[in-house]
Amino acid sequence: MSELAVVIQNKNKKVNITDTINSIKKAGFNNVFVQWYDKKWDISQEDQVKICKKLGLNIIFAHLGYQNMNLIWEEGIDGDNLVERYKNDIKNCKENGISLVVMHLASKETVPIYNEIGLDRIKKIVEYAKMLNVRVAFENTKIKGYLEYVLENIKDSNVGICFDAGHYHVHFDDEFNFNLFKDRIFAVHLHDNDKTDDLHLLPYDGTINWEYVMNKLKECNYTGPITLELWYRNDYLNMTLDNFYRTGYERGIRLSKIINQR
């Protein structure tokens, strides 16, 4: 059976991050990923890591921030500064025992077309990560083409993708060239929606065909954790936080059974 994991979600409603981490642990999860967004949260990302480790939670990766990410594709000092920001984040993650990071390649709906300016900057980031023995997984976000461009031009063994099922459903209309990324899926974000928005629902509360998705991940030789990217808000506030994460754990088991069936 595959390991299960879940995000330490800083945007959960009506609870604090300590409540979130404790509920995740009580639900049965042994693995988590953290949001390394460099924001001024009440409990810093570094302290969240410490809390997780104290509870025996294994941190499988850090999701780096994506503020001003589109500048990576534009000429100018701001784009160059992004390289240094990400190199610093990678260094800090490594120092906190995290050897896999997830990054976006674009944000929002309007993005400069991918180009050599951005590619050269990304190469600098991943080369630095490789020097630290850190893997980098780029996520499918809202617009097609960026993952393909970067992975076709960067063949380093420490570079792969993070497959986001919610984005695949609502932004890509379930169209994704899984074969192109075979053996290069380092991480996943599994959550559901009904195609109206990126809702981060529990699996099976939306309209994703999970049987199909999990079998495609299996065909791509993905063997990592079944990683849920959930958000406690809206109708979920009608259940307790503990029950929300217990239900998430149960849904994760259902997904794990699909990918592990022969």
Domain count for the chain: 1
pLDDT score at 184 = 98
The model's pTM: 0.97
Structure confidence by residue, pLDDT tens digits, 132-157: 999 999 999 999 999 999 999 999 99
**CATH number of the domain that residue 65 is part of:** 3.20.20.150
Structure confidence by residue, pLDDT tens digits, 1-52: 799 999 999 999 999 999 999 999 999 999 999 999 999 999 999 999 999 9
Structure confidence by residue, pLDDT tens digits, 91-137: 999 999 999 999 999 988 789 999 999 999 999 999 999 999 999 99
Q: Which residues pair with 59 in a beta bridge?
A: 32
Strands 4-7, 31-36: pairing is: parallel
pLDDT score at 134 = 98
By residue range, what is the domain housing residue 183?
Answer: 4-260
Q: What is the average per-residue pLDDT within 51-80?
A: 97
pLDDT score at 109 = 76
DSSP state string for 131-157: HTT-EEEEEP-SSTTHHHHHHHH---T
- Going by pLDDT thresholds of 50, 70 and 90, the confidence category of residue 65 is very high
Q: What is the average per-residue pLDDT within 44-72?
A: 97
